[in-house]
Amino acid sequence: MAIDPIRHLVVLAHPRRGSFNHQIAQAYCDAVEACGQRAFLRDLYLNRFDPVLEYLGEAPELEVVYDLTEIRHCDVVVFVYPIWFGGPPAMIKGYVDRVLGAGFKPSHDHAQAHNPFLKGRHMISFSTSASTEAWLGEQGQLTALRESFDRYLGTIFQLAATEHVHIDAVVEGLSEQYAAEQLERVRQAARNTCATVLGAAHRAEMAKLTDEETRPDAARKD
C-alpha cells in the first residue's frame, strides 16, 4: 500500500534571523524529517513576501501562484509567529488574505463560500509572547486568537483539525533550559501531528482500496 509523501508547509513570520521563532520552525522541520515526512519552510521575511492585498478578482494574484502551489500540495499547514499587539504580525494576516483567501471577495459570505483546496488538511500554530500566558489569559487574548484565527480558518476552509501551541515569557536572555524544554514541546507536537496525519492517510488509502474491491461486485449485481 503506497502512500504519497506527507508534506508539511511551515510558514514563519519573524523579522529577526536567528530568533526563537526561527528555532521553533527549525525544530518542527527536523522532527518531521525524523519521522520520515517532508517539511518545507517558507520564511516570509527572508523571502520578502508582500502582505499587501491589492487585487480582489476571482482569479488569484500572479505573485502568489508559487505559494498557492506549495500549499495545495501540503497535508499540514504550520504557522510560526510572535503575538504582537494581541494578534499575528501583518505578514501572517497578509499571507492568509493573499494566499489562503485567493479568489475570495469582501462580498463573499464565508459561511456559504466553497473553497475546498484546503479541505481535510491539518493546521497547527506556534505563537510566542514576551508576556506570560497567565497575563494573556486575563486579557482574553489567547482565547480570542484561537477563536478568530485558528477556529475561524478551520471552519471556512473545512480543515480536518486545528491546534495551537503557545510559548510564553520569550524574552532577551531566555534560559537555555527553558528554551530546550519549549523546543521539545515543539518536537513532540510535530511527532504527534505526523502520527495523526499518517494514520488519516492510511485510513483513506484503505477506504479507497475497499471501494475499488467492492465496485465490480456492485456492477455485477446491477
Q: Which pLDDT score, from 0 to 100, does residue 181 have?
A: 98
Interval 119-171: pLDDT, tens: 999 999 999 999 999 999 999 999 999 999 999 999 988 999 999 999 999 99
Which residue has better confidence, 48 or 206? 48
- In this prediction the pTM is 0.89
Q: In a 3-state reduction of DSSP, which class is residue 124?
A: strand
- Displacement of CA 83 from its chain's centroid (Å): 16
CA distance 59 to 64: 11
Identify the CA nearest to 147 among candidates 86, 77, 80. 86
CA distance 43 to 32: 17
DSSP state of 5: P
Q: Give the length of the chain.
A: 222
- The CA-to-CA distance between both ends of the chain, in Å, stands at 30
Q: Percentage of the chain surpassing pLDDT 90?
A: 68
Identify the CA nearest to 103 among candidates 61, 60, 65. 60
Q: Which pLDDT score, from 0 to 100, does residue 38 have?
A: 98
User: Is 57's pLDDT higher than 80?
Assistant: no
- What average pLDDT does the chain have? 89
- Displacement of CA 158 from its chain's centroid (Å): 13
83-94: b (≥16 Cβ within 10 Å) or e? beeebbbebbbb
